[in-house]
């Protein structure tokens, strides 16, 4: 509905549409031959829905389990009971890893916040702020809309999380499924490929069209979706980047 009305969605927490569910199933079939060890999504419900729906198509039939508190298990300071429950859940997941796959949701992967533009369509935004100003907010790298984020802000938080949390899992040879949103994936793909700021702004991201990368040592190589042959002496992590399927209308108008 938001896309049909051409509204700025940003980090408003709306669920998938019926079309989004269909696209999540389609994307899941594309990566169905990869046996994922761990899944990362944003905190937004549409990304979590996309990951869970996509995993129903996996031929390995492992059950995705949402882990409360994110990868680092952040809870209230001093809440010892919460920490004990988190640690017990993590241990249970490790024990049952043959048939379960943990899903960690983190706000670092949330879509770019458009601030005061969220909920407005392009025409209304131009009427309120002026066409030149709205265009600058939408298409520049380092300009923030009121109470919102620039693409640079989104890049900083998402890449920092990627380097601190996801790359170490890939170095261990784990297969990672990352499901996020258009601007976040634009940032991560640009980081992996070494794109300039301008190239990042021009990068188009299609919905339900996973990207796959093989991580070998300290470098990434884009690959076909089929997973590489397993070599226990040379562990290789494969990462698939999935797109939250509700975002296409906004992405088409962003560039």
Is 172 assigned to a binding site?
Answer: no
Distance CA 16, CA 227 (A): 28
Q: Which residues lie across from 121 on neighbouring strands?
A: 7
pLDDT of the residue at 161: 96
140's tokens: 């520049």
Is 110 assigned to a binding site?
Answer: no
Q: What percent of the chain has pLDDT over 70?
A: 74
Q: DSSP letter string over 26-52?
A: HHHHHTTTS--SEEEE-SSHHHHHHHH
Is 186 assigned to a binding site?
Answer: no
**Mean pLDDT, range 199-227, rounded to an integer:** 77
Which one, of 158, 156, 138, lies nearest residue 148 by Cα? 138
Residue 67 or residue 42, greater confidence: 42
Distance CA 111, CA 43 (A): 9
Is 157 assigned to a binding site?
Answer: no
pLDDT of the residue at 224: 58
5-14, pLDDT tens digit by residue? 778 999 999 9
Contacts 24+ apart (CB under 8 A), 17-23: 17/246, 19/245, 20/46, 20/49, 20/50, 20/207, 20/244, 20/245, 20/246, 21/49, 21/53, 21/245, 23/207, 23/208, 23/245
Is 223 assigned to a binding site?
Answer: no
Is 250 assigned to a binding site?
Answer: no
62's tokens: 């492992």
* Ramachandran area for residue 6 (φ above 0: left; ψ -120 to 50: alpha; else beta): left
Distance CA 64, CA 99 (A): 9
Distance CA 250, CA 4 (A): 10
The CATH number given to 18-254 is 3.40.50.1240
120-153, pLDDT tens digit by residue? 988 889 999 999 999 999 889 999 999 999 999 9
The residue ranges of every structural domain in the chain are 18-254
Is 10 assigned to a binding site?
Answer: yes
Residue 203 or residue 1, greater confidence: 203
Is 169 assigned to a binding site?
Answer: no
Q: What percent of the chain has pLDDT over 90?
A: 48
Contact (Cβ atoms closer than 8 angstroms) between residue 180 and residue 105 = no
Best-predicted range by mean pLDDT among 61-70, 140-149, 208-217? 140-149
Q: How many CA atoms lie within 13 A of 184 on its CB side?
A: 31
67-100, pLDDT tens digit by residue? 876 565 444 444 666 666 666 666 666 566 668 8
Which one, of 24, 93, 101, 104, lies nearest residue 60 by Cα? 101
């Amino acid at each position: 509905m938001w896309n049909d009305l051409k509204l700025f969605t940003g980090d408003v927490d709306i669920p998938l549409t019926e079309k989004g569910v269909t696209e999540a199933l389609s994307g899941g079939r594309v990566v169905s031959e990869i046996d994922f060890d761990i899944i990362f999504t944003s905190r937004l419900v549409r990304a979590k829905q996309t990951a869970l729906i996509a995993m129903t198509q996996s031929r390995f039939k492992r059950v995705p389990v949402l882990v409360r508190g994110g990868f680092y298990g952040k809870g209230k300071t001093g809440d010892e009971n919460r920490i004990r429950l988190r640690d017990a859940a993590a241990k249970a997941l490790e024990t049952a890893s043959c048939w379960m796959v943990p899903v960690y949701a983190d706000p670092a992967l949330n879509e770019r916040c458009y601030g005061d533009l969220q909920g407005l369509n392009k025409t209304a935004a131009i009427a309120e702020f002026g066409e030149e100003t709205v265009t600058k907010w939408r298409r520049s790298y380092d300009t923030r809309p009121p109470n919102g984020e620039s693409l640079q802000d989104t890049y900083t938080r998402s890449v920092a999380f990627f380097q601190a949390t996801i790359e170490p899992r890939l170095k261990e040879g784990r297969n990672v499924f990352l499901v996020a949103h258009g601007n976040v994936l634009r940032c991560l793909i640009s980081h992996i490929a070494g794109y300039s700021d301008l190239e990042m702004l021009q990068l188009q991201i299609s919905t339900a069209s996973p990207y796959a990368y093989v991580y070998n040592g300290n470098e990434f190589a884009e690959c076909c979706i089929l997973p590489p042959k397993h070599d226990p002496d040379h562990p290789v992590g494969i990462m698939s980047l999935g797109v939250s399927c509700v975002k296409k209308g906004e992405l088409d108008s962003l560039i």
